[in-house]
């Protein structure tokens, strides 16, 4: 067996390991962050949960750290009270970005991790089966239910060779995106193997595994070997190490190979992580902002190499150089090593630990200027600027631009490749984590709910007949950032669906909320890979609140497709993609005999337009009931 098959088989509770079928997995650990966590806590309350049943559940406050008014801190207080009530670890603001921080504190090879964040897959760097899903699925997992996913194909990627100067882990995943695009990994697990793994640290692997989400992959997996043991030992957890690897003669459904020695510095053009080109092809483009940090390049090495490149030099005067440390431990290590001093003297600004600009919480670039970031995503408007120009690159390429004021291939700087020496042990900072209360004490905790915290919307069953206007038609690769923006304007309303609804599809069509309210029940038409990107279930809940009942697309991204079903929205695909051209915004759809068609899995005829769904029997029952929570609270169709 390959490693992914071993991890799946050891946690399989339902279904068969045949690609395309639905399987259920036992969940060992759960991860939540604050942008998704308020909904998860409201869902746990709605489910009547007494105490979480996973081995570990942790809530991180890492996304919305700007306390620009009372709503944000009110959400943090609510999250803390819910953690105390339900038996969840609480990581307060400033502790760090959830993914590297979870690796440092709780990651264990061989365990399963369900996270309400699409970049949960980063923990595959430790040999975990870590899958990003919608918040409701994490809530159900914490309540003791299996995690249901489509059994993926296993894509073996063999890594050979060694990095040349000025090339690093970010260039590996950018190379895969260059080859396969943002939907190349849908319903696949990327399993890395090969001799080059000996040279990749656990945090190098985190960089690669994290952006497997940008491929659309279910997750990414690395073996648990000496590099993983060294990482756990550096954080005082050597006893948690378990050796895990594929069998020597393991097979894969698909194969690919990357020779690290043949790589060169790469960069993703604005608009998509899949628009990847060599840095040399775009060299000379002016740059006005460089931001280093995020879950995509979160390791101490990623900051230290920038500090070494800037040491004794000055950031170009037209560049705003921002550094977002990813955990308290990393900030402490950077301080001890003198890297912070080098960065500050060079002209960089040091920000608090957290996601910040990655989710559009500050650091929004000016219109018409290029921003280079060591981030995972550059979907239009995600930065907080509607008409933005964000590029994705390695720390080396980012630092080169910070020095020169233009996109620069770091090999052309005329500098020696920096040597970075990392400490054997990380700073022992664990105090800010708040442990779960004992069960009896937890039951007495009252949830702290400010007036700004709303409630889950009422979800009615799917009607047998629907007459639906097409309120919106969009193209390919529409992201959940475009469906339901986050950022400094919208994210403070994340616990209030009615208020958040005003921001729906704002990046695409600001008139959608008003038109959707006027239409009531309606449909949306999409192209290929509809709903790529973030796992935020707000992208399903908010349109459903506005009346969305059906989305018809050429194809769907994995997490959003499941989120639609979770909240009773019927996801249909064109039996023939040419049908996309037959439907226009403002057209009307009539769907009759809908419940029977969904229940039996048959095609749906909408006035001669053939549509179909790929829902499992479990999902069909969920959609018929109006969503997962209504299904649980009132069983039956």
pLDDT tens for each residue of 2-42:
999 999 999 999 999 999 999 999 999 999 999 999 999 99
Q: Identify the CATH number of the domain in which residue 531 sits.
A: 3.20.19.10
Angstrom distance (rounded) from CA 138 to CA 120: 12
Angstrom distance (rounded) from CA 554 to CA 570: 14
Digit-coded pLDDT (tens) for 566-590: 999 999 999 999 999 999 999 999 9
H helices within 60-187, ranges in order? 70-86, 98-105, 135-142, 169-180
Sheet of 219-221: strands edge to edge?
219-221, 188-193, 153-160, 254-259
Specify the pLDDT at position 430: 64
97 and 148 both lie in a single domain? yes
233 and 300 both lie in a single domain? no
Digit-coded pLDDT (tens) for 136-156: 999 999 999 999 999 999 999
- Please determine, for residue 487, whether its predicted confidence score (pLDDT) is greater than 90: no
254 and 314 both lie in a single domain? no
Q: Among residues 233, 262, 291, which one ends one of the domains? A: 262
Digit-coded pLDDT (tens) for 289-315: 999 999 999 999 999 999 999 999 999
- Please determine, for residue 492, whether its predicted confidence score (pLDDT) is greater than 90: no
Specify the pLDDT at position 637: 44
65 and 166 both lie in a single domain? yes
59 and 154 both lie in a single domain? yes
Digit-coded pLDDT (tens) for 397-417: 999 999 999 999 999 999 999
Contact 376, 359 (CB under 8 A): no
215 and 281 both lie in a single domain? no
Angstrom distance (rounded) from CA 408 to CA 69: 40
110 and 60 both lie in a single domain? yes
Averaged over 621-632, what is the pLDDT?
Answer: 94
Digit-coded pLDDT (tens) for 496-550: 999 999 999 999 999 999 999 999 999 999 999 999 999 999 999 999 999 999 9
Angstrom distance (rounded) from CA 358 to CA 35: 13
Angstrom distance (rounded) from CA 128 to CA 103: 10
475 and 327 both lie in a single domain? no
Q: How confident is the model at residue 635 (pLDDT cuts 50, 70, 90)?
A: low
DSSP state of 495: T
| Pairing mode, strands 22-25 and 12-14 | antiparallel
Specify the pLDDT at position 636: 47
Give the residue carrying structure tokens 């079928």: 21
Total domains in the fold of the chain: 3
Give the chain's length: 637
234 and 341 both lie in a single domain? no
Contact 625, 617 (CB under 8 A): no
Digit-coded pLDDT (tens) for 183-192: 999 999 999 9
Sheet of 276-278: strands edge to edge?
276-278, 266-268, 390-393, 371-373, 289-293, 320-324, 349-350
CA distances from 303 to 334, 347, 398 (A): 8, 15, 11
Question: If you write DSSP's letter for every residue of 211-234 in order, what string do you get?
Answer: GGGGGTBSEEE--B-HHHHHHHHH
Answer yes or no: is 315 within a domain: yes
Q: Which domain holds residue 566?
A: 466-627
Contact 485, 503 (CB under 8 A): yes
Digit-coded pLDDT (tens) for 217-270: 999 999 999 999 999 999 999 999 999 999 999 999 999 999 999 999 999 999
Answer yes or no: is 427 within a domain: no
Sheet of 29-33: strands edge to edge?
89-91, 56-60, 29-33, 112-115, 129-132
Angstrom distance (rounded) from CA 138 to CA 147: 8
- Please determine, for residue 476, whether its predicted confidence score (pLDDT) is greater than 60: yes
- Please determine, for residue 421, whether its predicted confidence score (pLDDT) is greater than 90: no
Q: What angle do CA 123, 128, 373 make, to 5 degrees?
A: 15
Q: Among residues 371, 394, 411, which one ends one of the domains? A: 411
DSSP state of 484: S
Answer yes or no: is 75 within a domain: yes
Averaged over 90-118, what is the pLDDT?
Answer: 96
Contacts of 570 (CB under 8 A, 6+ apart): 462, 549, 550, 551, 564, 594, 598, 613, 623
- Please determine, for residue 91, whether its predicted confidence score (pLDDT) is greater than 90: yes
The secondary structure element, H or E, covering residue 558 is helix 558-566
Q: HSE on the CB side for 453, CA within 13 Å? A: 19
Contact 61, 76 (CB under 8 A): yes
134 and 236 both lie in a single domain? yes
Q: What is the mean pLDDT of the chain?
A: 95
Q: Identify the CATH number of the domain in which residue 160 sits.
A: 3.30.499.10
397 and 317 both lie in a single domain? yes
Answer yes or no: is 431 within a domain: no
CA distances from 475 to 237, 522, 567, 580 (A): 47, 18, 23, 10
Averaged over 355-368, what is the pLDDT?
Answer: 92
308 and 254 both lie in a single domain? no
Q: Among residues 209, 238, 262, which one ends one of the domains? A: 262
Q: What angle do CA 58, 60, 64 make, to 5 degrees?
A: 155
Q: At what angle do helices 617-625 and 558-566 cross, to 10 degrees?
A: 50
Q: How confident is the model at residue 431 (pLDDT cuts 50, 70, 90)?
A: low
Specify the pLDDT at position 237: 94
What is the chain's alpha carbon radius of gyration, rounded to the nearest angstrom? 23
Answer yes or no: is 502 within a domain: yes
């Amino acid at each position: 067996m390959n490693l992914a098959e071993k991890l799946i088989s050891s946690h399989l509770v339902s279904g068969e390991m045949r690609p395309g079928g639905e399987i259920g997995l036992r969940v060992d650990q759960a991860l939540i962050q604050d942008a998704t966590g308020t909904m998860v806590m409201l869902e746990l309350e709605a489910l009547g949960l007494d105490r979480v049943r996973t081995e570990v559940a942790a809530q991180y406050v890492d996304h919305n750290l700007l306390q620009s008014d009372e709503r944000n801190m009110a959400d943090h207080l609510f999250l803390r009270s819910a953690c105390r009530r339900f038996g969840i670890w609480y990581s307060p603001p400033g502790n760090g970005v959830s993914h590297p921080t979870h690796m440092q504190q709780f990651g264990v090879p061989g365990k399963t991790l369900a996270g309400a964040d699409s970049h949960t897959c980063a923990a595959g760097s430790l040999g975990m089966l870590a899958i990003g899903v919608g918040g409701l699925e994490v809530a159900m997992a914490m309540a003791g239910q299996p995690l249901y996913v489509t059994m993926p194909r296993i894509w073996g990627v063999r890594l050979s060779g060694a990095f040349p100067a000025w090339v690093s882990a970010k260039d590996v995943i950018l190379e895969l995106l260059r080859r396969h695009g943002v939907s190349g990994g849908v319903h696949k697990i990327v399993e890395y193997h090969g001799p080059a793994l000996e040279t990749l640290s656990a945090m190098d692997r985190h960089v690669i595994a994290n952006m497997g989400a940008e491929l659309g992959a279910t997750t990414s997996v690395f073996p648990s070997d000496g590099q993983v043991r060294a990482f756990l030992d550096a954080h005082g957890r050597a006893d948690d190490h378990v050796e895990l690897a594929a069998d020597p003669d393991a097979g894969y459904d698909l194969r690919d190979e990357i020779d690290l020695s043949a790589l060169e510095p790469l960069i993703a053009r604005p608009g998509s992580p899949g628009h990847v080109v060599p840095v040399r092809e775009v060299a000379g483009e002016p740059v006005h902002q460089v931001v280093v940090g995020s879950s995509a390049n979160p390791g101490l090495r990623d900051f230290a190499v920038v500090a070494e490149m800037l040491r004794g030099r000055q950031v170009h005067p037209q560049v705003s150089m921002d550094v977002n440390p990813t955990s308290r431990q990393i900030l402490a290590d950077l301080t001890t090593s003198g890297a912070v001093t080098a960065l500050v003297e060079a002209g960089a600004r040091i920000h608090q630990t957290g996601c910040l600009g990655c989710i559009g919480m500050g650091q929004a670039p000016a219109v018409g200027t290029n921003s280079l970031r060591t981030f995972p995503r550059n979907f239009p408007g995600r930065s907080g600027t509607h008409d933005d120009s964000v590029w994705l690159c390695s720390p080396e390429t980012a630092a080169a631009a910070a020095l020169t004021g233009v996109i620069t291939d770091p090999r052309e700087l005329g500098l020696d490749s920096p040597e970075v020496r990392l400490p054997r042990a990380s700073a022992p900072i664990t105090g800010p984590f708040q442990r779960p209360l004992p069960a009896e004490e937890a039951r007495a905790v009252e949830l702290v709910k400010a007036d700004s915290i709303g409630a889950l919307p009422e979800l009615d069953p799917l009607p047998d007949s629907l007459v639906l206007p097409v309120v919106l038609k969009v193209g390919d690769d529409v992201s959940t950032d475009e469906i339901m923006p986050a950022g400094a304007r919208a994210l403070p309303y994340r616990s209030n669906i009615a208020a958040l609804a005003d921001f729906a599809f704002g990046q695409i069509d600001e008139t959608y909320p008003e038109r959707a309210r006027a239409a009531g029940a309606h449909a949306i038409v999409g192209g290929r890979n509809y709903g790529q990107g973030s796992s935020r279930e707000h992208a399903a809940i908010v349109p459903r609140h506005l009346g969305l009942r059906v989305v018809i697309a050429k194809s769907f991204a994995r997490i959003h497709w499941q989120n639609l079903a979770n909240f009773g929205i019927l996801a249909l695909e064109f039996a023939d993609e040419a049908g996309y051209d037959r439907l226009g915004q403002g057209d009307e759809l009539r769907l009759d005999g809908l419940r029977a068609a969904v229940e039996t899995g048959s095609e749906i005829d909408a006035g001669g337009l053939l549509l179909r769904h790929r829902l499992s029997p479990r999902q069909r029952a969920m959609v018929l009931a109006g969503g997962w929570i209504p299904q649980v609270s009132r069983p039956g169709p």
